[in-house]
Structure 1
Amino acid sequence: MKVTRNDIEEYLRHCERESRLSRHTVRAYRIDLGQLLEWLRRKGDTELDEAAIKGYLAHLNAKYAASSAKRKIASARAFAAYLSHERKTASPFAGARIGIREPQRLPRTIALGDLARILEPSTEPQVVKSALSRFLGLRDQAILEVLIATGVRVSELCLLDVEDCDMRGRQARISGKGSKERIVQLESEDTLRALGAYLGAREEWAARRPGALPEGARGAVFLNRFGGRMSEQAVRAVVSRRARRAGVAAHVTPHMFRHTFATMLLEDDVNLRYIQSLLGHSSVKTTERYTHVAHAKQREVLRRHNPRDAVRAAKI
């Protein structure tokens, strides 16, 4: 199966219009498939067959971490499946054996004490704050509260619209991966209070900027200082800044809030299927990785508080 740049662009348009994949997924596909085409061109033949797949897999394993190689092969497989369907031919992946063993990595969580300090609202005197500073302070607090109370992905947080938030019903509609929607409950009083205060300030702030909000941001919950919808990078900056101000030495990311949310639920004996639903995982296998974190916590507890050690200490 010959591969051209036009084939890739046609496939990406299909992903956007027919499959309705997110722009982040389409962007990742564009990068991965562009690298595949470049590799094929360097070897002097743009034919994608089983031999080429084996060679490309060896190239990926030599150059990238297992997780990256796995994603790039998955992108190539999906692209080949599309081409084979369009051309009524067999996919070159049909007989290929793909063996990428990704090492087990435990999700990184935030220590409870560190999390409490990060979530502590600013104690700076309100009188010295400008309207913009107050707005941004309330926004940042709401971001942190929503992250830990719902376990949403940073991309889902940025896509959240005002109409998705039902404050009276104490819930929010989340647009997840693959255009899948789910409802998350907002049952924490701290979270409801922080989000409610921010939404009120947001409404006042937006009212003072008539017509200034960009078209794509008018319904967005979380706005930047210029009135645009917040980017994922901006949310990461908020989390990092609050962690530094709280004196937390570890590098904290928005996704660590998601890991912490899931791990704390699991440690509190919440059924794995419920956690899967809350996180929006398509497969429970993805959720099961949090059991490794829970087991690690159990080991630490028994290492520090093992009854047998206590018996031995009593004899001394």
Structure 2
Amino acid sequence: MSKTTPENVIPLRPARPRRNRRPARPTVPAGTPLPALLDSWILALRAANKAKNTILSYTRSARAFIAYLTEHGMPDDGEGVEAEHVRAFLVSEQERTSVHTSAAHHRNLSVWFRWMIDEEERSTLSPVLRADAPKVPKKVRRYLSDEELSALLAACKGPGFLDRRDTAVLRILIDNGMRLDGVTGLMLDDVDLRGRRLRITLKGGDQHWAPIGAKAVQALDRYLRVRARHTLAGLPNLWLGSRGKALTRWGVTELLEKRGNQAGIEKVGPHMFRGTAAHDLLAAGAHPNDVQSILGWKSAAMVRHYTEDLAHERARETHARLSPSDRL
């Protein structure tokens, strides 16, 4: 007997498997325009006493990002920016400028969006992802050898005002690798010759006593005596320039380039002395914590950052001095 389906019964069809649908993005209301948030962020940075150059770097990245979003018709408010917008901007900047500039923008925008989240100007996660950080190729750091340092000092020999000034500047840079802003920011009352130290202002506004050696003290004393007879002796700045005003950042940079050319050394810059001083101190047996204190760093990681390129050289020298086999 065959089975038949009653006329009033609709046969059931097998259920179709459901497709996995992509979850819809949550609807986020438009936030505060980025230009307005930038103004507020600058006020916050100043209130936090951030260094002038740090604020300049942050704002440069923020303005470049805002300009890119506007040009490409992308959301330009605190809530609307997404990771794909940041990613496109970083790629564009890398192609337009360099990977170093793009990496700097990534770091700066990350700080900005974290601030927005803290200020409740953004209700979702930061669109600046760690995975999107441009990979910057590592370059070998340039250090100055003892022979090059001696040649620089020899180029400044002489009784004149500029000779004495440049010798004193070089001695300080060689002694403790002082940052350029620290050198140019020195005032007369920051000099303590008896205590063999100089008071400098670090990033963030903290003050620090940077030690100097006996030869640096002597060079400073010789400079101060000739400075007292200078027409600009009444200025509070320690370093006097040759153009009727105190020595500026660019003046020190030109000074080093000029003395480098006289010594036969190309492209001598102020930052070279920072790594060189740290390496020389470690090679002489200084403890990394002492090097960190001398150079005014807040983190031991900075010691490694500036000296890691010559770590193997220092290890070989240490082994040659302390070889276990040679003791037997």
What SS is found at the alignment partner of 1:172? strand
Instruction: Assess if the C-alpha contact under 8 Å between 1:151 and 1:258 holds in 2.
Output: yes
What is the match of residue 136 of structure 2?
Answer: 102
SS of equivalent to 2:140? coil
Task: Report Cα offsets for 1:124-156 as digits up to 9, x if no partner.
Answer: 5x5xxxxxxx32222111111111111111111
Instruction: Specify the alignment match of 2:204 in structure 1.
Output: 178
TM-score normalised to structure 1 length: 0.79
Match of 2:50, SS?
Answer: coil
Q: Percent identity over the alignment?
A: 21
1:258 aligns with 2:307: no
How many angstroms apart in 2 are the aligned matches of 1:251 and 1:296? 25
Map of 1:246 onto structure 2: 263
Partner AA of 2:50 in structure 1? L
CA distance in 2, matches of 1:56, 1:92: 18
Q: Hey, what's the Cα distance between the residues in 2 that align with 1:111 and 1:300? A: 17
Residues 135 and 201, structure 1, Cα contact 8 Å, conserved in 2? yes
How many equivalent pairs are there?
284
Within 2, Cα distance between the matches of 1:220 and 1:274?
29
Helix, strand or coil for the counterpart of 1:21?
Answer: coil
2:223 aligned with 1:189: no
Which amino acid in the other structure matches residue 180 of structure 2? V
Q: Is the 8 A contact 1:158 1:231 kept in 2?
A: yes
Secondary structure of the structure 1 residue equivalent to 2:169? helix
Q: Is it true that 1:202 corresponds to 2:219 in the alignment?
A: no
Which of 294, 303, 326 aligns to 1:287? It is: 303
**Alignment pair present for 1:228 and 2:245:** yes
1:275 alignment partner in structure 2: 291
**Structure 2 CA distance for partners of 1:13 and 1:55, relative to 1, 3 Å:** same
Q: Shift of residue 209 of structure 1?
A: 4.6
CA distance in 2, matches of 1:165, 1:34: 40
CA deviations over 1:201-255 (Å, ceiling 9, x no partner): 22332xx458xx6xxxx3221121244332211111101111111222x321111
Q: 1:175 to 1:19 in 2, by over 3 A?
A: same
Question: Is the contact made by 2:82 and 2:127 (CA closer than 8 Å) also made in structure 1?
Answer: no
CA distance, structure 2, for counterparts of residue 94 and residue 173 of structure 1: 42
Q: Which position in structure 2 is the counterpart of 1:57?
A: 90
SS at match of 1:179: coil
Task: After TM superposition, give the deviation of residue 192 of structure 1 in Å.
Answer: 0.5
| In structure 2, distance between residues paired with 1:91 and 1:197 | 61
Which residue of the other structure, out of 40, 62, 65, is the alignment partner of 1:10?
Answer: 40
- Give the one of 20, 30, 35 matched to 2:49: 20
Structure with a larger share of its residues in helix: 1
1:75 partner SS:
helix
Question: Structure 2: how far apart are the matches of 1:72 and 1:265?
Answer: 34
Partners of 1:267 and 1:294 within 8 A in 2: no
1:81–1:91 CA contact under 8 A, matched in 2: no
Conserved 8 A contact 2:184-2:249: yes
Q: Are residues 106 and 287 of structure 1, via their aligned partners in 2, closer, same or farther at CA, if it must alter by over 3 Å?
A: farther
Offset, 1:271? 1.6
Residue 40 of structure 1: aligned partner = 69
Q: State the structure with bigger RCO (CA 8 A, min sep 6), 1 or 2.
A: 1
- C-alpha change, 1:235 and 1:255, in structure 2 (3 Å) is same
Provide the C-alpha distance between the structure 2 equivalents of 1:209 and 1:234, rounded to a whole number of angstroms. 16
Q: Does 1:74 align with 2:107?
A: yes
In terms of mean alpha carbon deviation, does 58-67 or 219-228 score higher? 58-67
Give the unaligned 5+ runs of structure 1: 127-133, 303-316
- 3-state SS of 2:225 partner: helix
Letter in 1 for 2:102: A
Unaligned runs of 5+ in 2: 1-30, 319-328
Deviation at 1:92, TM superposition (A): 4.3
Between the aligned partners of 1:199 and 1:26, the Cα distance in structure 2 is 34
